């Protein structure tokens, strides 16, 4: 749900956002510095990349969020501020600049960066731009902020939703970026979420981890886990619902479900906008022995380079699905497995009991030529299921990453 005045990260009461070009990126027409701020202190939580090499902003944000509180986000694109000796100091200077401009403590600022790794971050352009950026924040600034955090993205990722808690309508919104260097866990991706729900930092953290587990942790674009991945959420409580103090109960479940639904929508957008991609791939695994085995199987299929290449050519090479299942480490019996493809053009079954079945290549081509394709994998080993999100692999991916720094 969105409107022109206050959608996305500003859908929730109390939040403003904006984006400007400060000079990190060469293209002056592309904003490269985003800010999101709230009129009130917020409960906050975040999850980060599992890569051992982490961007300096992640360490600073983790330190700032030790008290479970935050009031603003600042993020630049064009430079990852990673693997440089002065990275932490510059991340702190970004927090200090935002704090001065907003009149809040720099320790209440979430800081993030995305872009090229290993190059010193030019901090002076950021510090010069922050005062004007802070002054420009508005309820209609979500799209500007969303554009400012984009790198190789081709689609702006700006979404929101609502739920009812204690009789009050609560809004949850966010912005995200990510197109390449994405592989579980977390996938380069950033996501900043806001809500006007009254929820404690402890419950917020639990809801976020639940949401990320079935959304961003189930996306694979290219097998590379980024150094700068972060998903953060701020909750200001302005909706007036009774506070969700614990990660349990009907209101917590309703909030967690709404947050999860929003993150899944973002995950699908990230996968569909994969670098050079022409279609979204969704793998739905059913009949697994348990949830972990279902997740292993689903992620293996969308991660398979051979399968992704086949999908780029709309080739129903289902053997590559079974191949991926066979090496993924999941407990399964290949002789029970079934595979089918579906899209807006219909459904075609291609494998049953681990062996091929007759199907129309012409119909399969039509099904696989759509911009969203689902691979249905039936394992017939149990009752567990999982869903993973990926994209096809085209020559465009190599072209983008062969000249990323230029």
Q: Give DSSP secondary structure letters for 80-110.
A: ---S-TTHHHHHHHHHHHHHHHHTS-GGGEE
pLDDT computed for residue 1 by the predictor: 38
CATH superfamily to which 280-401 belongs: ArgJ beta chain, C-terminal domain (3.10.20.340)
For position 153, what pLDDT does the model report? 87
End-to-end Cα separation, the chain, in angstroms: 37
261 half-sphere exposure, CB direction, 13 A CA radius: 13
**What distances in angstroms separate CA 73 from CA 205, 256, 394, one per listed residue?**
17, 22, 35
Percent of the chain residues topping a pLDDT of 90 = 82
Pair of tokens at residue 340: 């089918």
Task: Identify the pLDDT of residue 27.
Answer: 87
Q: How many CA atoms lie within 13 A of 6 on its CB side?
A: 14
The correct CATH number of 8-272 out of 3.40.50.2300, 3.30.1360.170, 3.60.70.12, 2.60.34.10 is 3.60.70.12
pLDDT, averaged across the chain: 92
Please give the positions annotated as active site: 188
Q: Domain residue spans in the chain?
A: 8-272, 280-401
Per-residue confidence (pLDDT) for residue 154, from 0 to 100: 87
Same fold flag, 8-272 and 280-401: no
127-163 confidence digits (pLDDT tens): 999 999 999 999 999 999 999 999 888 899 999 999 9
d(CA 236, CA 113): 24
pLDDT surpassing 60 at residue 220: yes
Predicted confidence at residue 179, as pLDDT, reads 61
Predicted confidence (pLDDT) at residue 180 exceeds the cutoff of 60: no
Note whether 72 and 40 are within 8 A (CB): no
Angle between helix axes 305-312 and 291-303 (nearest 10 degrees) is 60
């Amino acid at each position: 749900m969105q409107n022109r005045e206050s959608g996305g990260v500003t859908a929730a009461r109390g939040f403003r956002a904006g984006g400007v070009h400060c000079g990190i990126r060469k293209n002056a027409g592309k904003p490269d510095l985003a800010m999101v701020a709230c009129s009130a202190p917020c409960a906050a939580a975040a999850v980060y990349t599992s890569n051992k090499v982490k961007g300096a902003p992640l360490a600073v944000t983790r330190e700032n969020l030790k008290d479970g509180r935050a009031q603003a986000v600042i993020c630049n694109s064009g430079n990852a501020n990673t693997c440089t000796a002065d990275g932490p100091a510059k991340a702190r200077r970004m927090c200090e600049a935002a704090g001065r401009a907003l009149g809040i403590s720099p320790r209440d600022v979430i800081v993030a960066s995305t872009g090229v790794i290993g190059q010193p971050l030019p901090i002076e352009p950021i510090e010069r731009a922050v005062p004007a950026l802070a002054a420009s924040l508005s309820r209609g600034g979500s799209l500007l902020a969303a554009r400012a955090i984009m790198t190789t993205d081709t689609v702006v990722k700006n979404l929101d939703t609502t739920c009812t808690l204690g009789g009050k309508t609560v809004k949850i919104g966010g912005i995200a970026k990510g197109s390449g260097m994405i592989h579980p866990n977390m996938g380069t991706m950033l996501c900043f979420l806001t809500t006007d729900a009254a929820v404690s930092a402890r419950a917020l953290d639990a809801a976020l981890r639940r949401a990320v587990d079935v959304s961003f942790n189930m996306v694979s674009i290219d097998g590379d886990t980024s150094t700068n991945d972060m998903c953060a959420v701020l909750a200001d409580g302005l909706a007036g619902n009774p506070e969700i103090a614990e990660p349990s109960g009907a209101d917590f479940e309703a909030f967690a479900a709404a947050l999860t639904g929003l993150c899944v929508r973002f995950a699908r957008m990230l996968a569909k906008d994969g670098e050079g991609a022409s279609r979204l791939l969704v793998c739905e695994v059913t009949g697994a022995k348990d949830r972990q085995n279902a997740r292993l199987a689903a992620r293996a299929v969308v991660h398979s380079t051979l399968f992704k290449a086949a999908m780029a050519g709309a080739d129903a090479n289902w053997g590559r699905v079974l191949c991926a299942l066979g090496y993924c480490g999941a407990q399964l019996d290949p002789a029970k497995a079934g595979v089918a493809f579906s899209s807006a053009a219909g459904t075609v079954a291609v494998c049953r009991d681990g062996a091929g079945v007759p199907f129309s290549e012409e119909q399969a081509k039509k099904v696989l030529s759509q911009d969203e394709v689902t691979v249905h994998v039936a394992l017939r080993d149990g009752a567990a299921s999982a869903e993973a999100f990926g994209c096809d692999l085209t020559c465009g991916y190599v072209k983008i990453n062969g000249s990323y720094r230029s």
